[in-house]
Amino acid sequence: MFLPLALNAQNVKESLEWTDLKNGIQTAYFQGELWGEPRYIAIVKYNPKAYSTQVLDAQRDQCGPTDVLAKRIGAKGAVNAGYFNMRELTPVTDVSIDGKVLGRRSKGEAFRTDGMVVIKDRKGHKVSIERREDATIDAVMAKSHAVISAGPLLLKDGVNQPKPDEGGFATGTHNRSVIGIDYEGNIWYMAVDGRFPGICTGMSIADLTRLCRELGLRDALNLDGGGSTTVWTSVQGTLNHPSDNRRFDREGLRKVPNIIYFK
């Protein structure tokens, strides 16, 4: 068991406790009061030049919790990815691998799905976070090795990406998952836990954007959150506290149809 910090912090970057898993992989934890609320944050950071970043599509009967899917393909680390239909276990955001379209953004997801992760090469070393545009999404999917859309886009080139809120999704404090890229080119997977009063309250999109900025991310994209929120490594297992079992442990993982991983 890796014990996180327990403190009242204003500068979260300086308060993180890092663990070096060797070979360019690091994990970090924060537990304590941040900006007036209790928080639990788990992070994986790695060098994409040393590992292959990929998207795994595992719809319907192939789906599983993030840790199960990651172990299935021998991943070193993983994060849950796009929004999906929880009854059918199929994506409701754009997903493509090697030009094959595996999912399309539904009309109901248009208000928040304004960004995408683009893996340009099959080796998985050229990874970017981009703005999703209706006019170009087909061309991007056709020429890229893998694409998965999500949102909202939080940061692009260090600039906050403002967006309207609909139905309290952005202003509510929820479990959140993030993929980000810092100014050195490292990729970050991050989970912000919530739904455990007095222990961790989650974050609004505004707080999440602030967190990504203060951690030094250049680009950042909000992924599917809520009970899906999971960050995992092969060395330490699940790093956060998925909430589907309503207990503050690491057992309440939700089945998902896609993940972003590295190996």
What is the structure's pLDDT at 212?
97
Residue 18 belongs to some domain of the structure: no
Residues 69/58, Cβ–Cβ less than 8 Å: yes
What is the structure's pLDDT at 18?
95
Residue 9 belongs to some domain of the structure: no
Q: Which residues have C-beta within 8 Å of that of residue 14, sequence separation ≥ 6? A: none
What is the structure's pLDDT at 14?
86
Number of domains in the chain: 1
Residue 8 belongs to some domain of the structure: no
Tokens of 199: 């222990």
Residue 13 belongs to some domain of the structure: no
What is the structure's pLDDT at 12?
85
**Which residue range forms the structural domain that includes residue 83?**
24-262
Q: What is the pLDDT of residues 197-247, one digit of tens each?
A: 999 999 999 999 999 999 999 999 999 999 999 999 999 999 999 999 999
Q: How far apart are CA 229 and CA 258, in angstroms?
A: 12
Sheet strands (E) in 58-210: 64-65, 77-80, 84-85, 90-91, 95-97, 100-103, 115-119, 127-131, 146-150, 153-156, 159-160, 176-182, 187-192
What is the structure's pLDDT at 50?
96
DSSP class of residue 196 equals B
Q: How far apart are CA 13 and CA 224, in angstroms?
A: 24
What is the structure's pLDDT at 3?
38
Residues 183/161, Cβ–Cβ less than 8 Å: no
DSSP class of residue 63 equals -
Residue 143 belongs to some domain of the structure: yes
Tokens of 197: 């009063």
Residue 10 belongs to some domain of the structure: no
Residues 61/38, Cβ–Cβ less than 8 Å: no
What is the structure's pLDDT at 165?
75
Q: How far apart are CA 117 and CA 189, in angstroms?
A: 12
Tokens of 28: 């970090």
Residue 19 belongs to some domain of the structure: no
3 state DSSP class of 16: coil
* Residue numbers in the chain where pLDDT is lower than 50: 1-7
What is the structure's pLDDT at 4?
41
Residue 103 belongs to some domain of the structure: yes
Which H or E element spans position 205? helix 205-214
